[in-house]
Amino acid sequence: MVIVMGQDATSGDVEAVVAVVEAAGVEAFVSRGVQRTIVGLVGDVSQLGSVNLRGMRGVADAVRITTPHKLVSRDNHPDRSTVHVGGVPIGPGSVTLIAGPCAVETHQQTLDAARMAQAAGATLLRGGAFKPRTSPYAFQGLGEAGLKILAEVREETGLPVVTEVVDAHDVALVASYADMLQVGTRNAQNFALLQAVGEAGKPVMLKRGMSATIEEWLMAAEYIAQRGNLDIVLCERGIRTFETATRNTLDVSAVPVAQRLSHLPVIVDPSHSGGRRDLVLPLTRAAIAVGADGVIIDVHPNPAQALCDGPQALVDGDLEELAQVLRTLPQALGRTLVGDVLAV
């Protein structure tokens, strides 16, 4: 860390900063420039705890040099990682399609959605049994009954299951059925949940908080990694902006930025970003083009009757178009689709 002193900082101000830093067991090196004085800090700066260096008299700025998210950072792990989910890879050089219903409603609906997804090229099945709904009156998911349906549909289709866990107390239960645990945008800074999934022994898909900066997103991933689990896939799912035409604004640039900062795979959720069926394919193309390692897409056999997020679910003809995109675009960009596209 480097403390940049203001142009009118006195030597007393500099000495006060040095005293605070040294009291915390961190070494301070003072460089007096022509215009400004800079204090370089060497050692474990976390020992400074809650000391507000920026608030001290004469301090213009305090800049961290080493990355705060060490385990997920490329500083310590230059090569990008591949995460395997039930044997299916998500990582550099390829595109993985995760698809299925927003919520598990019935066995038949989940099976139909899974088969539609598989035909379009999906190698992983998504589906929520525990739903984090904004309204307490909305369908909250089937809970364990939904997890059982997902496990049955996995048997029938061979697709490993990605499903959300919303509460730290449910992690062991969800992990006993799921191949990958999803942490949703509303829980992206639920630190107890992040720590619990870090200990669950299953890969984790971490969605970006809807108002989280990329750094906050990576720090959330660090909570999981710090508990010993590095099988984390980051998911950009759109952020809150002033725009109301879309459910969220897909932050396309977050994909290469996160990939540059972190070795973890980064996927995109075009369904929850746009929130509209007609935007899913254009946003999927954008995601693949910008370098996403996969996409997660809502699919429903009868969106008009869906208990959750029907307006953004793909159906019938949409899936043929999706299959077409997956057959051609990754290849054109020198990448491969994980698995086969069955649909013609």
Minimum CB distance to Mn ion, residue 208 (Å): 15
The residue behind tokens 């992206």 is 188
d(CA 205, CA 237): 12
Q: Does 102 bind Mn ion (CB under 5 A)?
A: yes
Closer CB to ligand PEP, 18 or 97, in the complex: 97
Task: Candidates 2-10, 94-102, 164-172, 246-254: pick the segment binding Mn ion (CB under 5 A).
Answer: 94-102
Pair 232, 266: CB distance under 8 Å: no
Minimum CB distance to Mn ion, residue 281 (Å): 18
Pair 267, 98: CB distance under 8 Å: yes
3-state percent breakdown (helix, strand, coil) of the chain, nearest 5: 40, 20, 40
Task: Candidates 27-35, 36-44, 95-103, 234-242: pick the segment binding Mn ion (CB under 5 A).
Answer: 95-103
Minimum CB distance to ligand PEP, residue 127 (Å): 9
Which residues are at the interface with ligand PEP (CB under 6 A)?
102, 128, 132, 184-186, 207, 237, 269, 272
Q: Does 98 bind Mn ion (CB under 5 A)?
A: no
Judged by beta carbon distances under 5 to 8 A according to partner kind, the member of Mn ion, ligand PEP, none in contact with residue 236 is none
Minimum CB distance to ligand PEP, residue 164 (Å): 6
Pair 260, 215: CB distance under 8 Å: no
Phi-psi sector, 25: left (phi>0), alpha (psi -120 to 50), beta: left
Binding map of Mn ion across residues 303-332, x = CB under 5 A, - = no contact: ------x-----------------------
Closer CB to Mn ion, 184 or 339, in the complex: 184
Count CB atoms within 10 A of the CB of residue 101: 29
Closer CB to ligand PEP, 202 or 237, in the complex: 237
Cα distances from 161 to residues 30, 57, 152, in angstroms, run 55, 55, 10
Pair 238, 246: CB distance under 8 Å: yes
Minimum CB distance to ligand PEP, residue 247 (Å): 9
d(CA 135, CA 295): 27
Closer CB to ligand PEP, 14 or 239, in the complex: 239
Pair 237, 208: CB distance under 8 Å: yes
Cα distances from 211 to residues 214, 215, 240, 251, 280, in angstroms, run 10, 11, 6, 11, 21
Closer CB to ligand PEP, 110 or 185, in the complex: 185
Q: Does 95 bind Mn ion (CB under 5 A)?
A: no
Closer CB to Mn ion, 83 or 102, in the complex: 102
Q: Which secondary-structure segment (H or E) carries 114?
A: helix 107-119
Closer CB to ligand PEP, 81 or 185, in the complex: 185
Judged by beta carbon distances under 5 to 8 A according to partner kind, the member of Mn ion, ligand PEP, none in contact with residue 237 is ligand PEP
**Binding residues for Mn ion, per CB under 5 A?**
102, 309
